[in-house]
Each structure stands twice: as C-alpha cells, then as structure tokens.
Amino acid sequence: MCGITGYVGSRPAVETAIRNLKRLEYRGYDSAGVAYPAPAGVRIVKAAGKIAQLEASVQDQPMEAQVAIAHTRWATHGSPSQANAHPHPDCRGDLAVVHNGIIENYAELRARLRAAGHQFQSETDTEALAHLIEERLPEGEPTPQIFLEAVRQALREVRGSYAIAVISRFLGNAVVVARKDSPLVIGLGEAENFLASDIPAVMAYTRRVLILEDGDCALIEPDRVTISGLDGRLRTRNALHVDWDDQAAEKGGFPHFMLKEIYEEPRTVRDTLRGRLLADDRVTLPDVGFTAEQWARIRRVSIVACGTAYHAGLVGKRLLEQLLHRPVEAAVASEFRYSDPLVDPETLTLLISQSGETADTLAAMREAKRRGSPTLAIVNVVGSTLAREADAVLYTQAGPEIGVASTKAYLAQLTALTLLALYLAQNAGMPEEDRRRYVAALRALPEQIEACLSLSERIEAISAELAAMSCFFYLGRGYDYATAHEAALKLKEISYIHAEAYAAGEMKHGPLALIEPEVAVIGLCTQPATHEKMVSNLQEVKARQGTVLALLREDVPAPDTADYLIRIPATLDALSPILAMVPLQLLAYYVARQRGCPIDQPRNLAKSVTVE
C-alpha cells in the first residue's frame, strides 16, 4: 500500500529519503511527508498530493540532517489530506512515526489516550502509536535503548499489521523500525544505512539488504543494525544480494505487475478481513456507518458495477440471496441508469468499484440516491468520488493495483461482499453454527490462496498447450457461472483471444455448434451439487473434439473426459469463487505471456474508466 523510506549517514538525509521515496511512486499514493531532527525536537513537513508538492515545501528548510524518514500514504483511515499524511508526532514533538498497515484496535487506543490528555491532530490509526510510545517514555532524556524499549512496549499493545519507522531527538542519528505482516527492508551501505518498505527504494545505493521478518524490531545507526524481538532478545538476519534490474525491482522481481499482484492476493484477503472478524466469530463492520434502524429498513438489494466489479456483483447476488432470503439483482451500471430502475428507500443500492471514479457507476449512484435509495459503496480508494458521495462505504484493502487487468482488487471485492452478507445475515438471526462455519472458512482463505499459487508451474505448462487455441468457452453452474464471466474477461483482456462465459446447461442451445479441436473449454466444477451435470456437459464438449480443462475442488471426483485438471482446496460453495479465480488468473497470464502480449497495458484499455 503505502511507501516508507529512511536514511542514516553522512548524505543529506531529507533529500536522500525523498529521492528514494520517488522510486516507490508506482505503488500509488495520495499524500507524502518527511520528518527529520530539528533543534527543538523533530521537524515534520507534509503535503497532500504528489511528492513534488512535498519537495516544494521542504525547499526552504534546513537540509543538514543526517537522519530522516519519509512516507507516501494510500489512505485507509481518514480522507487524503495534509493533516492525515504521515509522519505523525507525539504531543511534545519529540518523535515522529510513519506506518504501513492497519491498527485494528486504534479506536479503543485513541479513546484511552484522549482520556489521559493526549491531543490528536489527525483521523488516522497511526497517530495512536506515536502517543503510545510517548506514554511509555520516562521523564528526562531517555537513552536510545530506553527509547527502543518504549517502542517495543507500545507495539505489544497494538493489534493489527504494521511496518513502522520512528525517529526522535532522543535517538540522535538513528531510526527504530519494526514489522508485523507489512514488508520492511534495510539497505546496508558503508557508514550509512537505508530503510524502505520495498527493495526498489534502496537499489540506487546498495544491493545488500536485510529483509525483516514478523516480530522484528531494529535500531538502525550509520555503522550498525541491531535486530531484536519485541521481547528484547537479539535476532540475526542474513543479508541478501539483489541482482534485479531497476524495472524488475519495481515489480518485486516479477516480470509483470499483474503477476506480482496475483501473488499479493493472500495478503490482500488478510488485509480486507483484518479487524472485521471478532474473536467470538462475529462479523463487525464499524467503518460502514449505517445504523441498526437503517439496516432494518432494507428489503431488497440492487448491485451496480462495471467490468470486473460487476462480475464480483454476480457472485455477491447469489451469496446475498442465499444468506438473506431477500431479492437481489445485479446490473451493469451503464444500463442501470437508463432502465428506470426499481429502487426505493427500502432498496440498498450496492455500488462496487476499485477506483471509485468509474463514470457509469457514479451516475448510477446519483440516480439511485435521487430515487431515495440508500447507497453503500464497496471501493478501494479512500477519498474517491464514490467513497465521498455514497451514504456508507465498505473499503477493500487491496492497495494500489497497477496492472490494467484487475486481479487482487477482484478478490478483495469478493471478500468484502462475503463480509457484508455475513454481517447482514447474523443481524437477521443466522444460526450461530452456520456463521462460525463461514467465519472459519474465511480465516482459512489466505493459506488456501497460497496453495493455489503453488500450482503456478503446472498452469504455465498447460498454458503453453492452450495458447494457440482460437477460442475459449468458460462453463459453469451456480457460483461457477458467475466466476466464468470474470475468468473469460481476464483472458480476452490480456491475450486478445475470444473468450466467452456460458451457463453450462445452455451449451446445447446453440454454442455447441462452435466446438471443434481448436476450441478450449474451461469447465468450472467447484460446486458438488451440480458436479454430475457439469461432467455431462463436458462429455458433450469432448464428443465434439473440444479441448477440455476442468477446474475442480480437491474433494470431488475428476471427470474422465478432461484433457487437463487443476485442483483447488475444498471450501464452502460460496467461497469457491475466491479460490477458483487464482488459477484462472494465472492461466490468462501465462497464455498471454506465451503469445507475447503487453500484459500490464493491454491495447485499447484503461485502468480507471472515467468517461461514459
């Protein structure tokens, strides 16, 4: 998500930290800031917008500092603004903190700290950490080791994910860093050291890096790095030599952003679930903001979106109907606004968009609001138009997505839809046993996605066989039919092969005439209730000499007519679309790579469609 850089050494620290921050601009951000020592404490300079605005703000500032930390923010808590930009100080201005991740218990921490007299200047979760450290510092002038222990004690109170960097007038030319779940690396130089949230930021100066692991806390000085755990015990991390070129570095060593973002999906799902599943297996959506009375008035749901987000809505339609037993429709946004939509004050209009700037979706929201319908946006970008104008917002936590063909944002949308469906169902009296079953399955998803990613080599080999096909059909029933739409879109977007999703039972009503040896049929078989029917449909394809790839759960038998098999972990029927999409995204990627297509920037397409 956000970007962190820092420097300790003899170079101009502020200039170096900001220069390195520019190497993380590809990640996307909405504000930037830098902190460095000043005679009276710590000086913080922040700006909403791009790094260029930050550079203009620091031009007149003293640049003699030999330690600095800098940050680009992708908003999660609070709108994009100068006040919410990082770094964040304590009350006295003695320290500054930058942070990537989400502090789940920030609300209770803020409440306690406010009651103790701490003054907050932002809406962020991060600022609570600055005040927690301040609270743990003794009176007087603490030594660097005492300061480090205060950071450890503060982090022991935090629930959630973090990569942090802290500077203070008590540390001199040193930085304290720590990580849990969010990445953080240290670049090793000669009488100087660098820190960053991603390797590309330090590659202009060094190729020797330490990759911190969960629970690591480090004191970075110009001539040494000391790593310990939150318990104070010393730890050892071996240096890694990075031999990527600069372009590969931005992609984390992956050849394309799309592949990198597919491999980020386990973390994306973890981040979207984080703070929303309680210890008692209940679902909470504290950031949405609808009251119990507003939820109670809802009698039906209308899902509106475009492209990939619309396909997420097709899955959401089935899930919401299954759990709520209320009518749900899914509409393409460009059709919704011209169709005299039947929405009213008892209809929740649910709008889905990665960017929050999709023109047709914004127009549909405004039409729904004009008709009195309450609106809820599932969106990835804090401060986007959709997030600002909708009555309520459920944020996904996919972070910036660079590849035009959406991957991790789609999984985040499916995860958010599942959370919403469970939240509404539990409030409507969902049996506890069923709720716990769903929550347990949600908690298992990140590791199961990692298992799907382990199939990459096999999928690449299959793709080499299928890349010459002239046409692809994606067949499915129920949830699999909804998944088929997104799978077909992924392939056509980046490989330029005609691909079409079809309800498997409809093949015999016309499309079967198109089946021949040069046509590939991807049979999605993740739903046990329709498995036998799907096997019959694939036999019909094979009888016409089509090439069949079956994607099925590991707990169902394989059809004997399949030329290729891909198995995914078993989960609840409603969650299978999340797991199934991972190998299907990889299939599209590797087919496009075999064909030599420009994967990250396919022809004629844009990442955010801001015109009708």
Cite the active site residues. Answer: 2, 607
Contact 154, 133 (CB under 8 A): yes
Q: Residue 259 is inside which H or E element, if any?
A: helix 257-263
What are phi and psi for residue 35, nearest 5 degrees? -135, 145
Task: Please name every residue paired with 72 in a beta bridge, in sequence order, or none if there are none.
Answer: 3, 32
Please list the residues that pair with 4 across neighbouring strands: 71
Minimal CA–CA distance to 3: which of 163, 160, 158, 216? 163
Residue 158 near residue 129, CB atoms below 8 Å? yes
Asked whether the beta carbons of 526 and 567 are under 8 A apart, the reply is: no
User: Quick check: 471 and 488 in contact, CB under 8 A?
Assistant: no
Q: How far apart are CA 67 and CA 102, in angstroms?
A: 26
- Cα 520 from Cα 478, distance rounded (Å): 21
Residues in Cβ contact with 558 at an 8 Å cutoff, skipping those fewer than 6 apart = 550, 552, 565
User: Considering just the CA atoms, what is the radius of gyration of the chain in Å?
Assistant: 25
Q: How far apart, in whole angstroms, are the C-alpha atoms of residue 98 and residue 5?
A: 9
Burial of 211 (0-12, 13-18, 19+ CB in 10 A): middle
Sign of the dihedral defined by the CA atoms of residues 353, 356, 357, 360, in that order: positive
Is the C-alpha dihedral spanning 323, 326, 330, 336 positive or negative? negative
Crossing angle of the two packed helices 126-136 and 106-115, in degrees rounded to 10: 50
Q: Which residues contact 102 (CB under 8 A, 6 or more apart)?
A: 76, 77, 125, 160, 161, 271, 274, 275, 397
Judged on CB neighbours under 10 Å (0-12, 13-18, 19+), 214 is exposed
